[in-house]
Amino acid sequence: MSVSLQKGQRISLEKSGGALSMVRMGLGWDAVKKKGFFGSREREIDLDASCVLLADGGVADVIYFGKLTSDDGSVRHTGDNLTGAGDGDDESVIVDLGRLPVHVTSLVFTVSSFNGQTFNEVDNAFCRLVDETDGSEMARFTLTGGGAHTAMIMARLYRHSGGWKMNAIGEPAQGRTFQDMLPAIAAYS
């Protein structure tokens, strides 16, 4: 059963019957439909999902369209979607929780507009956490409203008392890449 999260909400990711081992953070969006004289049209929106692995108060590794797999192989980006077209997840990051180095304490998931398009041009943006072992959606965080920002810190997975929790962040940011957002991301280490 999926939990619909609100901004700032935290949930435990404990799984009945065993430990959670493999998850996918799916990110999706659509372009806002523009109404014109000849009907509505949709622009292509190229948002880029990134995952920043934090340890010891700093960045341990980063996964994004230019580096699809973490150095240790525990985190994998499934590839770059240049348009946002289609239903479901537009970009995904798969995390093997059991393979994550023990010093990694948090994973922060972001989206940014490499072309500088603002979230005023984005509709139906969401992130969702899926248990990769059975395909079930565990949690979903849907963004509401647009804004003049070009990036968003979406969510964070973090270690807590021997397990994992998810925090729906939904904080607007400015930047074309995760590097531009690193000062804001550092607050979640």
**pLDDT over 70, % of the chain:** 86
Question: If you average pLDDT over residues 32-51, what whole number do you get?
Answer: 71
Higher per-residue confidence, 44 vs 170: 170
Q: What is the DSSP letter of 8?
A: T
pLDDT at 64: 94
Is the pLDDT at 100 greater than 90? The verdict is yes
pTM of the model: 0.88
> In sequence order, which residues have a C-beta less than 8 Å from that of residue 38 and are 6 or more positions away?
none
Q: How far apart are alpha carbons 184 and 67 in whole angstroms? A: 21
Indicate the range of 27-31, 57-61, 126-130, 149-153 predicted with least confidence: 27-31
Q: Which whole-number Å values give the CA distances from 49 to 36, 103, 152, 158, in the listed order? A: 30, 23, 10, 18
